[in-house]
Each structure stands twice: as structure tokens, then as C-alpha cells.
Structure 1
Amino acid sequence: MSRITKLLLFSCALPLILFVVYRWGSYSYKDQVAVLAYHHLSDKDKSNVTITPELFRNQLALLKSKGYHFMTLDEFRSFMDGGPAPKRSVLVTFDDGYESFYTYGYPILKELRIPAVNFVVTKDLANPKAPKLAALSKDEIREMSTQTDTIEFQCHSHELHTKVDGIPALTSFMQVNGEMETDEAYRSRVVKDTQMCINSLTGLRQKAVDMYAYPFGDYSKEATELLRQAGIRYAFTVVNRTLSRSDDPMHIPRVNAGNPSITPEALDRMIMRRAVTQNLPFLRKKDTPGG
């Protein structure tokens, strides 16, 4: 039987397989982690990466009721280093370091006893009210870090969360005094920016700062290597699938959970669908930067 024939037969059978999985909840993935990606929580603001606090709480409450295991970063590091992962493992992540995480997300996470990590643009710490959406302050990060050891803060760059002619600054060359920067200047800029982000967060908390979410989900081979040189061990993309043990720790995929159209039930189904197809490589699309 040819590979194409097998694929066609499986494609026909997949809806039935997924129906059984969803209807009876009989599938519990293992050796995988669904890394959930969120950004902003608000009852008023509207965007494709903004959800209400109520929806956020309902999503997490449903997953918890269905037996999902919410990982701490220590558990996640252990898994990436070859350790075990409980069935239905999930890691909650936030990008951008918005103040809405402190106002809405943190109380919900505390109430449900769910760990999470927020990837912070550390430049905003100097003037957290300056951005269009208010950012976390140093005092807010200190408070959350002091009250619990399961809410953590990692890097989303210091000041590279911007674009140059439509291309993310992390992966593009910039003009300095009217001249394009050299290869050496580019490499130095990325390493120094990453080290500045690490140092800014290290001064606010005690745990290791060794994780990075690529701005806009964009990365390159060189940028990844520069982050590694700066001290980053794990880097997160926006490639929309679950994480398996064999994945590159510098190219960690995530499941987009922070779209307002994703109901709690839809998120559960989406995670299970991603977990099923993760075990079937011929159904997976090739990962690309930016998702």
C-alpha cells in the first residue's frame, strides 16, 4: 500500500478517531506538552490576542476538571532534559508582560493553583505606563515572585520587540547613522540585548532566567545561536502544535489559546487534536518562523 493511499485512508478515519477521543475522553497523551500561548486579558480591549478574564478562567477550569496537569517551569526543564512528564501536561505562557497579567491573570492562576510564565519586554520596566498597553512594573513582578514560586518571568527581549522595515529586529540588520550595521555589530547587539533582559529580570527574582519567547515568533539560525551564547537554554516560537521530547529546546512550539473565539471546549479539542497528529509525522506541516 502506497504512502499516499495510507494517508487518504487515515484522513478518512481521523474524524471518527477524534470523535471517540472527544466523546469519551479516552485519550491521554504522554511524552508531550501543550504549551499554551496567551497575551492580553481585558473586558474592554478587542484584538485577536485578547480574551476576557472570564474566558481565561473558564478555559483553565475546564482543562483542570478534565485531568490536565499544569507544569511548573522546573517540571518543564526536567522534561526537556529527559525526565518524565505526567499525562496531559500543559504549560501556561504569556507574552509581552502586560499589566493585565497582574490585574486579572495572576488572581485567577492563584485561585486555581496553576503555574505560569510571563515573557517580559524588560525595556518597559523603566516606564511601565508608557506603552499603549500598560506593562508590568518591577514592584508587581517582585510581589508575584515573592508570594508564589510557581509564577515566573522570563525574557521577550530587552528592546528588540520591534520591527525594521516590517522585519523583526531580532532577525534583521539595522541602520546606524545612515549605514547598515556589520555582521559583528548585529551579533553584538543581539547578545547584549539578551544579556540585558536576563540581568534585568535576575535582579527582581531568585530563579534562573534561561528562557526566551521570540518577538513576533520570528527566528533565524544565527539569532538562535546568539541567544544560546547569551545564556538562553529554551526558546519559544508561535508554531502551533504540541511539544514532543525530540523537539529542539530552542524551537519550542506553542498552542494558541489566547484568541477570543476559542471556547474552553474548543481548546480541549484543539489540544487533543494537536497531540494526536503530533504522533503522526506525515500529517504535520513543516515548522516555519512566525508560525
Structure 2
Amino acid sequence: MSLKTRIGFLSFLLLGLGALCFVLILQASHGRMPIVGRLFEGAGSVIDIGSPEGASSLYGGLKPGHDEPHGTYYKGRVIVLMYHEVVQAPQDAGALSTAKFERQLRMMKANNFHWITMDQYRGFILHGDPVPDNAVLLTFDDGYASFYRDAYPILRKYEAPATSFLIVNTVGNPHHAGVPKLTWDQVREMNRNGISFYSHSFDSHLYAPADAGGKHAIAALSGPIYSRDKGRRETEREYELRVKTDLEKANAVLEQELGSPNHVLAFPYGAFSKPLLAICAQLGIDVTLTVKDGLDRPSQSNGFRLNAGGMQNNPDLQLALMKQARQRLGHAHFDRAPERKREALWTLAAMAIVAALWTEAAYKLFRAKRTRGTLAQKNGNVAGSGGCERDAILP
């Protein structure tokens, strides 16, 4: 193999190893890199299993299976299920019927899934505390009055712990428009009976305009919004102050009403930003949740959730999906961080060897070209000298 061919081959190999190393580092470290985390855990491209499109995207190719009372589907991971309204006769596409909800719980119990509390989940995320195999955390967003009326009795029947995320300013607030919400008396009663309550913001569960024309709207907590009073978009400082004020209010009211500090936030619409994560840390909120599907692992403080609600929900196919969570959920390919770190180190070592071989070949090629150039110059000089001598002896 010529030196030029060898250099070309080694260059191609080096580029390939570099690309592979980048992918491995991305998969190993995405949870600790905010800018990369936003690509995979932000609000964009959210799949909503409450819509036909979302259901077909996640259920594609699945078939109902049989009960596996001793089955083990994943270890050292948690599926966080997300619900909104659970009612007897759903009218909204995002609501789940009580019949389907009860079937979900019954099937989870029959197939060796284990419900855990938010305290267990926080211990698992923050400290790596052990959780049962096939661990599941049940979460409910928005604090609808129907949660107390329709979902809570079913949870008690199956002795299933759960967490509800409250839009704090709507609780017991008759002046707040929209779907009826819980009262504080109901919240306290449920809190005494296995239901924990955390923040879904004080009053920022809304989309707000991001420009003067109102053509672009964003989730209010996720970035600067357009202020009609000021006639301009918020500065970063104004945005951060607004968000901090909202979350501080939510924390204060929750602690006042329930007697314990708030450490968890479910982002409205799953939307967040790097400044928002930093503010959460300042306020003692050490666990946050998005609406992207995936399996949660230790140290993943900004967690995934799988939407288990909606009129299009199929309890049998959802169970099949949960059994295949490692293979099928959206971020399963990011789940092997330790292995990916080792593979990245081996790839870097291979790159170093290839780079050394490339450098050696390039140096040899440079020397060869330089030698040929020197010889050519000498031969040219000799030929020139010979010509001059011949000219000199001509009569």
C-alpha cells in the first residue's frame, strides 16, 4: 500500500472513529449536559398518547399479551406515568375513563409492576436508593376536582400511591376560570391517605405570546414572553424574576397548606430552559419532570414521563409497551450510560493509535517528497554544470 493510500485510509478511519466517539459521549452524558439535554428532553416534538397519532406512534406493532405474575421487564429504572383528567364519561380527548384507568391498575398489579411513592422516586433519582423491579410512579397533572371524585377512590381500592401536581393558585379558588379544581380540604384528606402533592407552578400553566404580533406563543415558564404593558419582550433578567416569583409563591403555599417543603416541579407542557432549571435548584426543587417518554434512571433529575391518559388510550397495548420499555420507549438508546462511557474511552484509545499511524505515514510521505525534491535539484544542478562545461570547450 502506497503512503498516499495509507494516509487516505487512516484519515477515513479517523473521521469514522471521531463520529462514533461523539455519539457515544452524547449518549453517555446527555443527562448532565443542559444544551444536549434540551435536544432530547425539551418540549419540542412531544408525542401525546391521548391523540390518535401519539397512540399509533407508541403502540405500533404491539399486541396484547398474557398475564405474567412473576415477570421482570426492567431493573433499576422507573416508568413515570402521566395522567390528566380521569372521569366516568370523558368528553375531552385528554381525559381517561375510570373503566380504562381501573383496568390499567388491575393489569399492572397482575403483571408484577410495583407502584412507588414520590419519596421513593426522589431517593432513587438523587441518591440511587433501590426501587423494586418494574417500578412505576403514578402522576396526575393540574389538580382537577375529578381527581378526588373519580380517580382517588380507585387508587384507594388498589392501595396505589400517587402524586398530583397542582396549579397552586387554582386550588380552592372560585374566581379561577376553567375546569373545576380541587379544594385544600380535599388535598389535605388525600395527602393523609397516600397521595402526595407538588408544584405545577403557581399560576403559569398557560401559553403566552413571544412577540408583538402574537404569532408565536411559548409555555410561560420556558422563556421570555412579550409584555403588552412594556410594549416589548421581557429581558432575560425580567423572565428569570417572573419565573422565580411564581415558583416561590407555589412553594410557600404548598408548605403552608401541607406542612412540608416542595421539592418537585412538573413543567407545564413539559417545557423548560436552562435558566429555569437553575432557578429550580436555587429554590430547593431537586426533581423536575417533562412530558417526553422514556425510562428514568438514577441521577436523571429532569425526568421522563409516559402519557397514560386520553380517550385513545388502550390499556392492553399500554401494558405491552411498559413490558417492552427498554426497547421501545423514546430514550431507551440513552439508557446505557456506563457502557457508553467505556466504549467512548476505547474509541478514544483507538483514535489515538490511528492518529499516531497517520502522523507517521504523513511524516514519511513528507520526507519522501523532500528527498525526491532534493535529488531532483541536485540532478538539475549537475546537468546545468555539464552543459556549461561543454559550452566552455566549444571552439
Say whether the fold is shared (TM-score over 0.5).
Answer: yes
Aligned residue for 1:79? 124
Q: What are structure 1's unaligned runs of at least 5 residues?
A: 3-17, 285-291
Give the paired residue count: 264
Aligned residue for 2:171? 125
Per-residue deviation, residues 157-178 of structure 1 (Å, max 9, x unmatched)? 0111111122111023231432
Distance change (3 Å), C-alpha of 1:280 and 1:257: closer
TM-score by length of 2: 0.62
Instruction: State how 1:29-44 maps to structure 2 within 5 Å.
Output: 29-44=74-89
Q: 299, 324, 333: which is aligned to 1:281?
A: 333
CA–CA distance in structure 2, aligned partners of residues 24 and 64 of structure 1: 10
Distance change (3 Å), C-alpha of 1:132 and 1:271: same
TM-score by length of 1: 0.83
CA–CA distance in structure 2, aligned partners of residues 79 and 226 of structure 1: 22
1:196, distance to aligned residue in structure 2 (A) = 0.6
Per-residue deviation, residues 9-45 of structure 1 (Å, max 9, x unmatched)? xxxxxxxxx88x9558454311110100000012334
Aligned residue for 1:193? 246
**Residue 161, structure 1, aligned to residue 217, structure 2:** no
Distance change (3 Å), C-alpha of 1:184 and 1:270: same
Aligned residue for 1:54? 99
Q: 243, 247, 257: which is aligned to 2:308?
A: 257
Q: Is contact 1:238-1:256 (8 Å) kept? A: yes
1:214, distance to aligned residue in structure 2 (A) = 0.4
Instruction: State how 1:131-280 maps to structure 2 within 5 Å.
Output: 131-146=177-192, 148=193, 150-165=194-209, 166-174=217-225, 175=227, 176-246=229-299, 248-249=300-301, 251-277=302-328
Aligned residue for 1:111? 157
Distance change (3 Å), C-alpha of 1:170 and 1:280: closer
Q: Is contact 1:145-1:152 (8 Å) kept? A: yes
Q: Is contact 1:33-1:243 (8 Å) kept? A: yes
Aligned residue for 1:6? none
Q: Is contact 1:190-1:227 (8 Å) kept? A: no
**Alpha carbon RMSD of aligned pairs, Å?**
2.5
Per-residue deviation, residues 184-227 of structure 1 (Å, max 9, x unmatched)? 22111111111111111111213441100001111111111112
CA–CA distance in structure 2, aligned partners of residues 129 and 116 of structure 1: 28
Q: Secondary structure at the match of 2:324?
A: helix
Distance change (3 Å), C-alpha of 1:98 and 1:143: same
CA–CA distance in structure 1, aligned partners of residues 163 and 233 of structure 2: 36
Aligned residue for 1:100? 146
Distance change (3 Å), C-alpha of 1:100 and 1:77: same
The amino acid of 1:50's aligned partner reads A
Of 233-242 and 268-277, more deviation after overlay is shown by 268-277
CA–CA distance in structure 2, aligned partners of residues 262 and 160 of structure 1: 28
Distance change (3 Å), C-alpha of 1:129 and 1:263: farther
CA–CA distance in structure 1, aligned partners of residues 312 and 116 of structure 2: 25
Per-residue deviation, residues 57-111 of structure 1 (Å, max 9, x unmatched)? 1111110111111001121122112111111100000011111111111111111
Q: Secondary structure at the match of 1:55?
A: helix
The amino acid of 2:277's aligned partner reads T
CA–CA distance in structure 1, aligned partners of residues 335 and 129 of structure 2: 27
Greater strand fraction, Structure 1 or Structure 2 = 1
Q: Secondary structure at the match of 1:235?
A: strand
CA–CA distance in structure 1, aligned partners of residues 335 and 288 of structure 2: 24
Identity over the aligned pairs, expressed in percent? Answer: 30
Distance change (3 Å), C-alpha of 1:232 and 1:116: same
**Which one scores higher on RCO, CA 8 angstroms, separation ≥ 6?**
2
Greater radius of gyration (CA): 2
Greater helix fraction, Structure 1 or Structure 2 = 2
